[in-house]
Amino acid sequence: MPAQDRFPDDDALIDRLPPDFRIGAATSAYQIEGAAAEDGRTASIWDTFCRVPGAVDNGDTGDTACDHYHRMPEDVALMADLGLDTYRFSVSWPRVQPGGRGPANPAGLAFYDRLVDELLGRGITPWLTLYHWDLPQELQDAGGWPARDTAHRFADYAALVHDRLGDRVAHWTTLNEPFCSAVLGHVEGVHAPGGRSLADGVAAVHHLHLAHGLAALRLRADATRPLDLAVTHLLGTSAPATDTPTDREAARRADAFGFRFYLDPVLRGSYPDDLVADLGARGVTIPVRDGDLETIATPVDTLGVNYYRSMKTSGTGTDGATTDSLGRPVTRALPHGGLPVTGPGWEVMPHDLTDLLLRIARDYPGTPMVITENGAAYTDVPDADGHVDDQERTAYLSAHLAAVARARAAGADVRGYFAWSLLDNFEWAYGYAQRFGLVHVDYATQARTPKRSARWLRDTARRVRGDA
Ligand code: IFM
């Protein structure tokens, strides 16, 4: 291996990972499948959102994406060549249950049936996520995640997928990053469905939690074999920008809204008191009904942690004021500054991943974790032979896997690491320009070319497993 593919300080930590530590890669349905109107699939909120002028860079859509729907066997062969022991993918709700209610679409389910068999045939463990943001448009028209009924629709859908694949799939993740569905989609308006209402976003968070809990209960009741049940959250830290009371209080608010809002109900069965007070001060209540929190806190076996970066928090606006025009306290996320950044300008902060994992281990003890996503986007340009020598991404992955190993060595129960993403793909509002893949995709020809980072992951996984 060329010298630049080894990072001795990182390797010293990575080499302490146990041989059964899972190393894999992740994708999601809308980002790679394409075939948006085939075999009975109907529109999701992302198909709709992509058509809103200006919503997605360059007007890109997931209509074709990586054409994985048609190239799945070839892609699974690629995973086997890369030595992945686990593949995390998501099921497209509007493909298997068009419209979000009623019977399954046999052709849609058959695709995942073939995918699972193909993976198992190549010795790759399937890690299935039921929801990665592609809500059927009909359910959005009926109120979407701010409406309680959507949680019940999700539990029915989960049972239907489990009924078909539960005999072969052991690892079930209900939701990917409820924060993005709820806050980016309903408060900030930058993801589908493009809403801008705090009350809707808060209701969406609660109903996503409820959807998770209802689905977890259904899967547990239906399972005829041991189930590894998980939910995945996007997490980071929000340190105060300075040590002033204003910034410390802003950081507390950011932590309540961006971190504890997600982990407390699932892992402790309650919403944080300070969050409830902060929301109350803005006239918003979480629409909790009797019994909801017990349902939401149905025990999970694994917590999926997605980590990309962390921000610091200031209580002062760009105008120097500590309240906004409506008299509400300012909570402003800021970059730390002075750090290398990836393509979208996200700071590279592997040490924060260690801190994050140790915090979860301390504050929510007894929950095994898996890093279900971590990776870096760049606007990679292939050389004349189509190769991408992505040294920055390789160094990013190495540093973050080492950060995980460091957290493990300090007591965090982390059992796996999945790189985001297997393939370059549709990066939501960024469209196709930002590339997260271990494997380069030429969207004109759909040719796949593993990058340097893919070879690094393969060689690292071999070393960890002890087959190097
Ligand atoms: O591409 C996304 C993924 O769908 C969810 N987690 C974050 C990734 C990078 O933005």
Å from CA of 280 to ligand 1 middle? 31
Q: Best of 32, 46, 177 to mutate for ligand 1, by most ligand atoms within 8 A of CB?
A: 177
What is the rounded CA–CA span in Å between residue 15 and residue 405? 8
Per-residue pLDDT tens over the stretch 398-429: 999 999 999 999 999 999 999 999 999 999 99
What is the rounded CA–CA span in Å between residue 102 and residue 405? 45
Q: Is the dihedral of CA 33, 71, 35, 142 positive or negative?
A: negative
Instruction: Report which protein residue has its CA nearest ligand 1's atom 4.
Output: 28
Instruction: Report which protein residue has its CA nearest ligand 1's atom 2.
Output: 427
Ligand 1 atom closest to the CA of 428, numbered from 1: 1
What token pair was written down for 245? 């009371």
Per-residue pLDDT tens over the stretch 308-350: 999 999 999 999 999 998 899 999 999 999 999 999 999 999 9
pTM of the model: 0.98
Q: For the chain, give me the number of helices (H) and strands (E)?
A: 18, 13
DSSP state of 259: I
Å from CA of 144 to ligand 1 middle? 21
What is the rounded CA–CA span in Å between residue 355 and residue 382? 35
Cα angle vertex 431, ends 100, 399, to 5°? 105
Evaluate whether 30 touches 92 at the Cβ level (below 8 Å): yes
Per-residue pLDDT tens over the stretch 8-47: 999 999 999 999 999 999 999 999 999 999 999 999 999 9
Evaluate whether 27 touches 88 at the Cβ level (below 8 Å): yes
Residue 232 Cβ contacting ligand 1 at under 6 Å: no
Evaluate whether 70 touches 39 at the Cβ level (below 8 Å): no
What is the rounded CA–CA span in Å between residue 411 and residue 359? 11
The residues, ordered by sequence, that sit 6+ positions from 263 with a Cβ below 8 Å of its Cβ are 233, 235, 303, 360, 363, 364
Instruction: Report which protein residue has its CA nearest ligand 1's atom 9.
Output: 427
Domain ranges of the chain: 3-192+218-241+301-311+331-465
CATH code for the structural domain at 3-192+218-241+301-311+331-465 = 3.20.20.80
Bond into 325 cis (ω within 30) = no
Evaluate whether 137 touches 47 at the Cβ level (below 8 Å): yes
Per-residue pLDDT tens over the stretch 77-110: 999 999 999 999 999 999 999 999 999 999 999 9
